[in-house]
């Protein structure tokens, strides 16, 4: 048996509580774990007891070695403080050094609240653990307090050209193996997952490309039974490995690091196959409550989604690649609700991934001529393999290299332009978009927040890494100031 | 045109930040003595608009944050550090692009230097002058400023100094640093330090992009912002007797 610990955000009082996800791999029964906190034996609260990741029809043989996972919470802690946590069962143990979130975004010159924003990680293209190496190297004043995993932490639908049996136990076994690899190996995502307490949401590859729609490259999605089996197995794996209990799969998560208020919306799990909704009623209700909470408390809202809100609807190509948020009928209502933040003068920060390029966009409210929204995209951490396209891009890049500089990111696309007006169908021409930065290639993004007067200063640093060649320096952008208006 | 946010106010604040013409041929020290705020621990800033070459370049550079693109009346801003009965001996903290005794080695203090107010007494060299009262405790500002001297990660003033000297001296193709979001160091210093103690000096502009013209606009036009944010507005007085353009 091997034990693994990853810190998770406690959504209630995250400055004084720490959640820890524990995974016990290669075992046939749940371990009986004893815990220490800073060397002292303690008994944390059980948020989700350690259970087999696969159960019922996904586990025809209960005697096979597999993964067990659970979530535990330590309370009564000090804000912004490191803790050494140890979990052990007989002769097997695992250590974790992590820290609580700050109780407020710092003021003063020296301190920042650091948020690591990542998405889209394909382990085979990670250059032998590059993402984990960079995340682990962020130390001292750059060490993240919080990691936001904004989707595609695994690619369950790869390899693209392989047909998967339409058997729920086979699918569950395959998905669990994908998670175990990314969650435990140094060439996986473990370094990113251990960098700071994290909060995660799924995007399509936590299910399959363009979930829940039929995908021409996913044979299992052709039939309702195929889709049902895959969905059940993928959701079980997501619940076991990624949910921040007590929130379950598909549930939104919100927490405050005053004056910031975070809302993490799963924009994938509840997508309607008929494109009527991308959010369920519970999430829509909670967004309404959150908007009211932000306005009443004079908070600075931070909305995390699995897909960008700053996109145009996809055309017919969306059937092959992925539909965008505006393809779903509830997008307009969502944007009208978010516009209430601008009505109240609260500048909105949107964070997302998904698109395989980075971008920073600002939005001016033309009724007030003030910056009303910003969007930061961080994608990909390690670009997924695209059979055929990658080889073509690498070939053309090599040819181009004879005549000029070699492109360090031959497989990566450049950022799309933001729409001229945000959600113009719902909001007309009220919100004008302006691109501030485009980031190409594999990267992690570090968002550094600091209170400055009555505003919040945000410094965005992209940490790119090339697939070949020498390391690249971090790219620090001009500061963004979130100012009430 | 730089991306500065304009205030929604329709009229300038001339009640708490009022015009005060010179009396006769009084120099800047006498003008300041006449308009010195009464409060004790309140932070005070002094802003000047000069007529020398460096001042001219700075004033023109800031035209990009004015809606009419005309040169600014202001070229420099400084913090009143220790008040003395004899005003000329009052010490100030500043980052000057034309320091009295030369630059020395700016990295030691992140560019911050201390001089006396006497350096700015000459009304011919500095015909435009303003005194601004900032509603934050001076001791907190001083402590933060001392920290600032050793914290180039907060604002690399040395970088700003070099960029602005390149522009002011017309070195090669040196562009206007404001267009790249690089503020004039004297104002960027105060914007960052005051922000760290809870006051928005320039609500319309990011701190590291700050400049004296943005402070002027904040004092004149952003009164409602401070009220909305439960902050006390900037108070004080000014005298603008030199303009680079007249319509």
Give yes or no for a contact between A477 and A460, defined as CB atoms under 8 angstroms apart: yes
Residue B198 and residue A368: Cβ atoms within 8 Å?
A: no
3-state SS assignment for residue B201: coil
How close B79 gets to chain A, by Cα (Å)? 17
Provide the b/e sequence for A201-235 (b: ≥16 CB within 10 Å).
bbbbbbbbbbbbbebeebebbeeeebbebbbbbbb
Give me the phi and psi of A305, to 5 degrees please.
Answer: -130, 160
Cα A339–chain centre separation? 24
Query: If pLDDT is split at 50, 70 and 90, which confidence band does B205 have?
Result: confident
Residue B196 and residue A368: Cβ atoms within 8 Å?
A: no
> Which region, left, alpha or beta, applies to residue A274 given φ > 0 means left and ψ of -120 to 50 means alpha?
alpha
Give me the phi and psi of B155, to 5 degrees please.
Answer: -160, 120
Q: Per-residue pLDDT tens for A155-178?
A: 999 988 788 999 999 999 999 999
Model pLDDT, residue A315: 85
Share of chain A above pLDDT 70, in %: 96
Model pLDDT, residue B2: 61
How close A108 gets to chain B, by Cα (Å)? 4
**Residues in A lying within 8 Å of B, measured between beta carbons:** 107-110, 141, 345, 368-371, 451-455, 457, 478-481, 483-485
Q: Which of A82, A181, A84, A193 is nearest to A132 (CA)?
A: A193
Residue B6 and residue A369: Cβ atoms within 8 Å?
A: yes
The two structure tokens encoding residue A309: 């809100």
Residue A457 and residue B195: Cβ atoms within 8 Å?
A: yes
Model pLDDT, residue A390: 56
| Separation between Cα atoms, residue A349 and residue A149, nearest integer Å | 16
3-state SS assignment for residue A295: helix
Model pLDDT, residue B204: 72
Model pLDDT, residue A161: 73
The two structure tokens encoding residue A186: 């140094």
Residue B208 and residue A479: Cβ atoms within 8 Å?
A: yes
Cα A441–chain centre separation? 18
Q: Per-residue pLDDT tens for A245-266?
A: 788 889 999 999 999 999 999 9
Model pLDDT, residue A394: 58
Give the pTM.
0.90
Model pLDDT, residue A393: 57
Q: Give the angle subtended at the CA of B78 by the CAs of B103 and B201, to the nearest 5°.
A: 125
Residue A478 and residue B181: Cβ atoms within 8 Å?
A: yes
- Residue B97 near chain A (CB below 8 Å): no
Residue A453 and residue B209: Cβ atoms within 8 Å?
A: no
> What is the DSSP track for B26-88?
--HHHHHHHH----SSEEEEEEEE--SHHHHHHHHHGGGGSTT-PPPS--EEEEEEE--SSGG
Q: Is the pLDDT of residue B149 over 90?
A: yes
- Quick one: how many helices (H) and strands (E) in chain B? 7, 7
Chain A residue nearest residue B148, CA to CA = A109
Q: Give the angle subtended at the CA of A219 by the CAs of A218 and A223, to the nearest 5°.
A: 115
- Residue B1 near chain A (CB below 8 Å): no
Chain A residue nearest residue B226, CA to CA = A454
| Chain B residues in contact with A141 (beta carbon < 8 A) | 153
Share of chain B above pLDDT 70, in %: 97
Q: A420 pairs with which residues across the strands?
A: none
Model pLDDT, residue A392: 56
Q: Give the angle subtended at the CA of A328 by the CAs of A326 and A330, to the nearest 5°.
A: 95
Instruction: Using CB atoms, pick whichever of B8, B148, B153 lies closest to residue A368.
Output: B8
Residue A109 and residue B193: Cβ atoms within 8 Å?
A: yes
| Chain B residues in contact with A452 (beta carbon < 8 A) | 192, 195-196, 200, 207
List the pLDDT tens digit at each of the 485 positions of chain A.
999 999 999 999 999 999 999 999 999 999 999 999 999 999 999 999 999 999 999 999 999 999 999 999 999 999 999 999 999 998 899 999 999 999 999 998 889 999 999 999 999 888 888 899 889 889 999 999 999 999 999 999 998 878 899 999 999 999 999 999 999 977 789 999 999 999 999 999 999 999 999 999 899 999 999 999 999 999 999 999 999 878 888 999 999 999 999 999 999 999 999 999 999 999 999 999 999 999 999 999 999 999 999 999 998 777 778 899 999 999 999 999 999 999 999 999 999 999 999 999 999 999 888 899 999 999 999 998 766 555 555 555 555 655 566 678 888 999 999 999 999 999 999 999 999 999 999 999 999 999 998 899 999 999 998 877 777 899 999 899 999 98
Mutate to test the interface with B, among A114, A435, A453 (most CBs of B within 10 A): A453
HEC profile of A369-413: CEEEEEEEECCCCECCCCCCHHHHHHHHHHHHHCCCCCCCCCCCC
> What is the DSSP track for A433-473?
EEEEEEE-SSEEEEEEEEEETTEEEEEEEEEE--SSSS---
Which B residues 10-39 touch A at CB under 8 Å? none
- Residue B8 near chain A (CB below 8 Å): yes
Give yes or no for a contact between A80 and A99, defined as CB atoms under 8 angstroms apart: yes
Residue A109 and residue B201: Cβ atoms within 8 Å?
A: no
Residue B5 and residue A484: Cβ atoms within 8 Å?
A: no
């Amino acid at each position: 048996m091997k034990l693994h610990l990853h810190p998770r955000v406690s959504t209630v009082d995250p400055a004084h509580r720490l959640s820890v996800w524990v995974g016990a791999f290669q075992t046939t029964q749940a371990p009986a774990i004893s815990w220490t906190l800073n060397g002292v034996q303690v008994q944390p609260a059980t948020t989700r007891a350690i259970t087999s990741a696969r159960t019922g029809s996904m586990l025809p043989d209960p005697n096979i070695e597999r993964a067990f996972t659970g979530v535990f919470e330590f309370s009564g802690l000090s804000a912004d403080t490191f803790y050494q946590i140890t979990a052990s069962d007989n002769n097997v143990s695992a250590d974790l050094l992590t820290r609580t979130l700050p109780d407020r975004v710092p003021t003063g010159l020296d301190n920042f609240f650091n948020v690591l924003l990542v998405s889209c990680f394909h382990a085979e293209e990670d250059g032998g653990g590059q993402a984990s190496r960079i995340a682990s190297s962020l130390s001292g004043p750059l060490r993240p307090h919080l990691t936001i995993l904004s989707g595609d932490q695994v690619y369950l639908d790869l390899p693209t050209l392989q047909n998967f049996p339409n058997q729920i136990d086979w699918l569950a076994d395959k998905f669990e193996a994908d998670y175990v690899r990314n969650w435990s190996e140094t060439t996986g995502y473990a370094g990113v997952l251990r960098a700071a307490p994290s909060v995660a949401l799924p995007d399509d590859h936590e299910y399959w490309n363009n979930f829940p729609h039929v995908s021409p490259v996913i044979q299992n999605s052709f039939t309702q039974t195929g889709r049902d089996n895959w969905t059940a197995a993928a959701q079980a794996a997501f619940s076991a490995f990624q949910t921040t209990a007590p929130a379950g799969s598909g549930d939104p998560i919100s927490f405050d690091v005053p004056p910031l208020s975070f809302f993490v919306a799963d924009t994938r799990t509840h997508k309607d196959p008929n494109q009527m909704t991308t959010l369920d009623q519970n999430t829509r209700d909670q967004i309404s409550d959150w908007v009211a909470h932000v306005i009443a408390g004079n908070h600075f809202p931070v909305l995390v989604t699995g897909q960008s809100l700053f996109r145009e609807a996809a055309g017919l190509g969306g059937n092959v690649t992925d539909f965008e948020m505006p393809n779903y009928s509830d997008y307009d209502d969502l944007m009208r609700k978010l516009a209430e933040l601008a009505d109240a003068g609260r500048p909105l920060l949107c964070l997302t991934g998904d698109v395989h390029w980075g971008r920073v966009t600002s939005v001016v409210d033309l009724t007030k001529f003030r910056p009303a929204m910003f969007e930061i995209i961080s994608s990909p951490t390690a670009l997924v393999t695209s059979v055929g396209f990658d080889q073509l891009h690498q070939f053309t890049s090599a040819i181009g290299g004879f005549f000029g500089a070699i492109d360090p990111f031959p497989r990566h696309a450049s950022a799309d332009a933001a729409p001229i007006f945000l959600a113009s169908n719902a909001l007309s021409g009220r919100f004008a978009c302006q691109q501030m930065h485009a980031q190409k290639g594999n990267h992690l993004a570090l968002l550094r927040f600091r209170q400055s007067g009555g505003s919040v200063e945000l410094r965005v640093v992209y940490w790119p890494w090339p697939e070949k060649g020498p390391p690249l320096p971090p790219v620090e952008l001009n500061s963004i100031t979130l100012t009430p208006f | 045109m730089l991306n500065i946010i304009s205030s929604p106010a329709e009229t300038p604040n001339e009640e708490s930040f009022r015009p005060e013409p010179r009396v006769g041929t009084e120099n800047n020290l006498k003008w300041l003595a006449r308009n010195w705020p009464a409060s004790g621990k309140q932070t005070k800033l002094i802003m000047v608009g000069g007529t020398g070459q460096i001042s001219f370049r700075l004033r023109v550079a800031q035209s990009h944050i004015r809606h009419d693109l005309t040169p600014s009346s202001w070229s420099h801003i400084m913090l009143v550090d220790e008040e003395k009965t004899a005003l000329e001996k009052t010490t100030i903290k500043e980052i000057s692009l034309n320091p009295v005794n030369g630059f020395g080695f700016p990295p030691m203090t992140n560019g911050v230097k201390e001089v006396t107010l006497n350096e700015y007494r000459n009304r011919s060299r500095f015909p435009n002058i303003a005194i601004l009262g900032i509603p934050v405790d001076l001791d907190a500002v001083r402590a933060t400023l001392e920290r600032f001297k050793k914290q180039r990660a907060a604002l690399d003033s040395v970088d700003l100094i070099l960029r602005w000297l390149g522009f002011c001296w017309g070195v090669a193709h040196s562009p206007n640093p404001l267009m790249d979001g690089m503020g004039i160091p004297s104002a960027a210093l105060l914007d960052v330090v005051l922000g760290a103690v809870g006051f928005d000096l320039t609500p319309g502009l990011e701190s590291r992009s700050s400049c004296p013209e943005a402070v002027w606009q904040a004092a004149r036009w952003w009164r409602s912002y401070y009220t909305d944010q439960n902050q006390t507005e900037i108070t004080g007085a000014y005298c603008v007797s030199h303009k680079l353009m007249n319509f």
